[in-house]
């Protein structure tokens, strides 16, 4: 347990010095604050930007940062040193995963400031699930990739699909149908209505299947590659 805390502390220090990762965490929360306060178009759905950016944030930030962190440690040969110091692979992965999840939840907390207080717990609950799935997907890519270049080429398309599909779905029915198989789209629907009212069992199932697939792929990647 102590090692998990050490990894979290290390990441916290490192993120403050790593602008490319840091920007991932703060871009959407900051953009949300700006857009919600600066732009008001008549007929625009309420909290349009908060809802849209939340889903993009959920699909993008955790995935890219977890994959970048793990693959960078492999590329720069620092992960070996941790393993040599008897840090267990699960401790390392838990440290990185928990750290990114918490940081993204803090970001979600900022985005939630524009919401009515009554729906904030609901909103954060949905975000927590989405961010956790994205963390698992990112870990999957990070474990699979030997270096940052491979990780980037893998997470780019994956992240595009998860974070942009829900946005494109707003404009196109066909895309909406396809996007429905992704957890981000299902969670977007929940965030749009801000309640569980009328939720379909198929939606819950889709999210569960996405989560199970992410975990399955993660364990497959881990079994194949370990943390080498």
Partner 1 sequence: MIRANAICKSFAGKQVLSGIDLDIKPGMIFGLLGPSGAGKTTLIKIITGQLGFDSGDVTVFGKNVSDLTGTDKKQIGIMMDDHGVYDRLSCTDNLKIFADIYGIPHSKIISALEEVGLKDAAKKPAMKLSKGMRARLQLARVFMVSPKILFLDEPTSGLDPMTMKYIHKLIQNRKAAGCTIFLTTHNMEEATELCDEVALLNDGKIVDRGNPSEICRRYNHRKAISIHLKTGEDIRLPDGIESADKISSLLKQGKVETIHSSEPTLETVFIELTGRKLENDAEARYA
Closest approach of partner 1 to the CB of residue 88, in Å: 11
Asked if 89 contacts 24 with a C-beta cutoff of 8 angstroms, the reply is: no
Least distance between partner 1 and beta carbon 140 (Å):
23
Taking the least distance from each CB to partner 1, the nearer of 94 and 208 is 94
Residue closer to partner 1 (CB basis): 16 or 216:
16
What is the secondary structure of the chain as a DSSP string? -HHHHHHHHHHHHHHHH-HHHHHHHHHHHHHHHHHHHH---TTPPTTHHHHHHHHHHHHHHHHHHHHHHHHHHHHTT-HHHHHHTT--HHHHHHHHHHHHHHHHHHHHHHHGGGS-GGGHHHHHHHHHHHHHHHHHHHHHHHHH-SSHHHHHHHHHHHHHHHHHHHHHHTT-HHHHHHHTTSHHHHHHHHHHHTS-TT--HHHHHHHHHHHHHHHHHHHHHHHHHTT-
Is there a contact between 146 and 224 (Cβ–Cβ < 8 Å)?
A: no
At closest approach, how far in Å is the CB of 222 from partner 1? Answer: 19
Residue whose entry in the numeric block shows the structure tokens 């102590």? 2
Pick 51 or 74: Cβ nearer partner 1:
74
To partner 1, the closest distance from the beta carbon of 30 in angstroms equals 22
Nearer to partner 1, 95 or 166 (CB): 95
User: In this complex, which beta carbon is closest to partner 1, that of residue 9 or of residue 200?
Assistant: 9
Q: Shortest approach of partner 1 to residue 8 CB, angstroms?
A: 11
- Smallest distance, partner 1 to C-beta of residue 87, A: 6
The residue (of 19 and 174) whose beta carbon lies closer to partner 1 is 19
d(CA 40, CA 150): 41
Residues near partner 1 (CB under 8 A) are 2-3, 6, 9-10, 13-14, 17-18, 76-78, 80-82, 84-87
Closest CB to partner 1 among residues 8, 203: 8
CB 133 → partner 1: shortest distance, Å? 28
């Amino acid at each position: 347990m102590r090692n998990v805390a050490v990894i979290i502390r290390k990441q916290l220090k490192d993120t403050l010095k790593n602008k490319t990762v840091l920007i991932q965490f703060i871009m959407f929360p900051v953009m949300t604050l700006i857009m919600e306060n600066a732009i008001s178009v008549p007929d625009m759905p309420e909290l349009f930007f908060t809802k849209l950016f939340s889903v993009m944030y959920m699909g993008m930030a955790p995935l890219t940062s977890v994959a970048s962190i793990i693959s960078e440690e492999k590329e720069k040969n620092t992960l070996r040193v941790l393993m040599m110091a008897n840090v267990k692979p699960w401790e390392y992965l838990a440290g990185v995963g928990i750290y990114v999840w918490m940081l993204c939840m803090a970001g979600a907390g900022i985005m939630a400031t524009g919401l009515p207080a009554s729906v904030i717990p609901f909103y954060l609950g949905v975000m927590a699930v989405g961010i956790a799935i994205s963390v698992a997907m990112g870990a999957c890519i990070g474990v699979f990739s030997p270096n940052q270049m491979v990780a980037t080429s893998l997470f780019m398309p994956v992240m595009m699909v998860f974070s942009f599909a829900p946005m494109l779905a707003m404009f196109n029915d066909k895309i909406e149908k396809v996007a429905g198989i992704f957890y981000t789209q299902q969670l977007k629907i929940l965030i749009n209505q801000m309640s569980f009212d009328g939720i379909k069992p198929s939606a819950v199932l889709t999210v569960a299947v996405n989560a199970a697939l992410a975990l399955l792929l993660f364990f497959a990647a881990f079994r194949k590659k370990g943390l080498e």
